[in-house]
Structure 1
Amino acid sequence: MPDAYERLRAEIVEGEFAPGTALVEVSLAERYGTSRTPIREALRRLEQDGLVERGSRGMCVRTRSPEEILEIYEVRITLEATASGAAAQRRTELDLMRIKAAQSAMARVSPSDPHAMAAANRNVHETIWAASHNGTIVDLLTRLNNHLTRYPATTLSSAGRWDEALAEHEAIIAAIEARDHVRAAELAGAHMETARNLRLEIYSKEIVG
C-alpha cells in the first residue's frame, strides 16, 4: 500500500487538492489512517519537491503562476540543452540504443491518450539525460519535472504538437548519434522553448476558462 507521501503527492498532482488548499496534519492523518508523524514527513518531502509551500497558516498546496512557468523553463531550457550536448559527446552505443528504443516506443503511443503521451515523452528525455553521464544534471532536471507535475495538462495535446515533438526528437537523436554536441544542444533548447510557449498558452486558457 502506498505510504502517506505517495498518496498525498498523487492527490495533489491529480488535482484532488486545489492550489492554495491548506494541508492540515490532523485532517490528513485521519484521511490516510495514520499518525501525524508520517504526514509531517510527507509534507517536508513535498515541500522539497516544490508541490507544497509554507503559508501564513501552515503548509498548503503551492499555487501556480505564469512567472513560475517562466522561471522553471528558463532553467530547464539551459539544462536540457546541456544534457543533450553532453550526451552527444559521451553517449555509448548502449545509450544510443536506449534513446532510440524510447523514441520508437513514443512513436507507437496513441495521441488520444494524454497520460501515455506524457509518460513516453518523459522517457525519451530521461534516456537522453542518462546518456549525458552527468548525475547533477539528471538530479536537477528530475526536480524541475516535479515542479511541472502541478501543471497536469500536457503540451503534447496541443494541435499538431505530437508530430512536431516526434520530429524534433528525431533531429536531436540524429545529432547525438553524429556526436554533434553543438547542434544537439541548440535543437534541445529550441524544443524546450516551444514547450514553454505552449505551457504558457495552456495556462492562460485555463485562467480565462
Structure 2
Amino acid sequence: MPSERPPQKDAYGLILEAIDHGTYKPGDRLVESELADRFGVSRTPIREALQRLETQGMLVRDGRSLIVASLDHNALAELYIVRAELEGLAARLAARHATAEEVKVLGQMVQDDRARVSDPAALSRSNRRFHRQIHLASHNRFLIQQLDLVHRSMALLATTSLAAEGRGEAALAEHQAIVDALAAGDEAGAGEALRRHISAAFEQRLRLDAAQD
C-alpha cells in the first residue's frame, strides 16, 4: 500500500500570513530563494505566489526586486472608507441572519479579550478573529470575499492602532456594543456601531502616524 504524501504547503498563504503577522513589514525585500528555504517549498510555487501578491498590490517592484507594499495617507483613507461600509453591511446582515450560537461566540470573544488588553499583538490577532466571525455571521459569501480582500490589505499596516494607550479598552467596549446590537437583532444599530468602531480605529491610526512625522 503506497504511503500517503504529506500535504503540499501553500506558498501564497504562507507568505501572506508572514506579512500579516509582521514577519515581513512594509518596505522589506522578499527574496525567492530565502522564502523557499524558510518555508520548505520549491522556488516555482514561491515565484507564482510572489507574482500573485504583486498583482494584488501586496508587493511592489523596486528595480528587479519585490518589496512589501506600504499604504500612503490617501490609500489608508480609501481603505478605511471601504472597510467601514463593508463591515457595516456585514453587521447589519449578521443582525438579521446570525444564529444565537454565533452571537454567543462573539460575546465570549469579547470577554476573553479582556485578558489581552495589555498585549496589543495578541489583542490585534484576536480582533481580526472577531471581525472575521462577524463576516461569517452575515451569511453572505460574496460580501465575505470582498472583506477578505480588504483585510488582506490591512496586513500592509506596520503597526496596530490597539497599541495606543487606552485604545484596547475602548475597542472592547465598541465590540460589546456591536454584540449587544446583534443580540437584539437591531440591524441599523449593529451597522452604526461597527462603523463607529472602524472610524475610531482610523482616527487613532492617523494620530499614531502624525506622531511619527
TM-score range, shorter chain: 0.7 to 0.9
Pick from 37, 52, 57: which aligns with 2:44? 37
Q: What residue in structure 1 maps to residue 177 of structure 2?
A: 171
- CA shift at 1:52, angstroms? 0.6
2:108 corresponds to 1:98: no
TM-score normalized by structure 2?
A: 0.82
Judged with a 3 Å threshold, the aligned counterparts in structure 2 of structure 1 residues 98 and 196 are, in CA distance, closer, same or farther, namely same
Counting only pairs closer than 5 Å after superposition, residues 59-70 of structure 1 correspond to structure 2 as: 59-70=66-77
Judged with a 3 Å threshold, the aligned counterparts in structure 2 of structure 1 residues 59 and 166 are, in CA distance, closer, same or farther, namely same
The more displaced of 18-27 and 97-106 is 18-27
2:127 corresponds to 1:156: no
Judged with a 3 Å threshold, the aligned counterparts in structure 2 of structure 1 residues 25 and 169 are, in CA distance, closer, same or farther, namely closer
Task: Note the residue ranges of structure 2 that are not aligned, 5 or more in a row.
Answer: 1-7
Judged with a 3 Å threshold, the aligned counterparts in structure 2 of structure 1 residues 132 and 202 are, in CA distance, closer, same or farther, namely same
Look up the equivalent residue of 2:102 and give its one-letter code: D
Q: Given that residues 9 and 41 in structure 2 are in contact (C-alpha distance below 8 angstroms), is that contact kept between their aligned partners in structure 1?
A: no
The more displaced of 176-185 and 44-53 is 44-53
2:133 corresponds to 1:127: yes
2:147 corresponds to 1:141: yes
Paired-residue identity, %: 35
The more displaced of 128-137 and 9-18 is 9-18
TM-score normalized by structure 1?
A: 0.83
Encode CA deviations 1:152-173: one digit per residue, 9 max, x unaligned. 3211121211111111111111
Q: What residue in structure 1 maps to residue 122 of structure 2?
A: 116
Counting only pairs closer than 5 Å after superposition, residues 169-208 of structure 1 correspond to structure 2 as: 169-206=175-212, 208=213
Work out the number of aligned pairs and report it: 206
Question: How many Å separate the matches in 2 of 1:34 and 1:95?
Answer: 37
Look up the equivalent residue of 2:77 and give its one-letter code: L
